[in-house]
Copies of this chain bind each other. A is one copy, B any other.
Amino acid sequence: MKNTEKLLSDREERLLNALIREYIDQAQPVGSKKLVQTASLNLSSASIRNVMADLEELGLIASPHTSAGRVPTVQGYRYFVDSLLNIKPLQPVAVEKMIKEFAGDYDTTSIIANASAMLSKLTSLAGIVTLPRRQRVQLAQIEFLPLSDNRVLSILVTDDNEVQNRIIPVKRVFESGELRQAANYLNTMFAGKEIRQVRNELLNELNEARQSMDQKMQAVVEMANKMFADENQDDQSDFVVAGETNLMDQSEFASVDTLKQVFEAFNKKRDILELLDQCLSADGMQIFIGDESGYQGLGDCSLVTSTYSVDGQVIGTLGVIGPTRMPYEQVISVVDITAKLVSSALKSK
Contacts and interface: CB of A to CB of B under 8 A. Distances in A.
Interface of A: 106-107, 140-141, 143, 145, 147, 151, 153, 155, 157, 161, 163, 165, 167, 169, 244-245, 248-249, 253-256, 259-260, 263-264, 267
14 contacts: A106-B169, A140-B147, A143-B143, A143-B155, A145-B155, A145-B157, A153-B163, A155-B155, A248-B259, A249-B260, A253-B256, A255-B256, A256-B256, A259-B259
Contact of A143 (B106, B145, B248): B145
Contacts of A248: 256, 259-260, 263
A145 to B, nearest CB: 6
A263 B113 CA distance: 19
B259 A106 contact: no
A169 B103 CA distance: 13
A157 B151 CA distance: 13
A163 B165 contact: yes
Contacts of A259: 248, 256, 259
A161 B167 contact: yes
Nearest to A168: B106
A45 to B, nearest CB: 35
A151 B106 contact: yes
B245 A106 contact: no
A169 B107 CA distance: 12
A248 B169 CA distance: 41
B153 A157 contact: yes
Contact of A245 (B253, B254, B267): B267
Residue of A107, A161, A253, A256 with most partner-chain B CB within 10 A: A256
Contacts of A157: 145, 147, 153
Contacts of A167: 106-107, 161, 163
Residue of A167, A249, A254, A255 with most partner-chain B CB within 10 A: A167
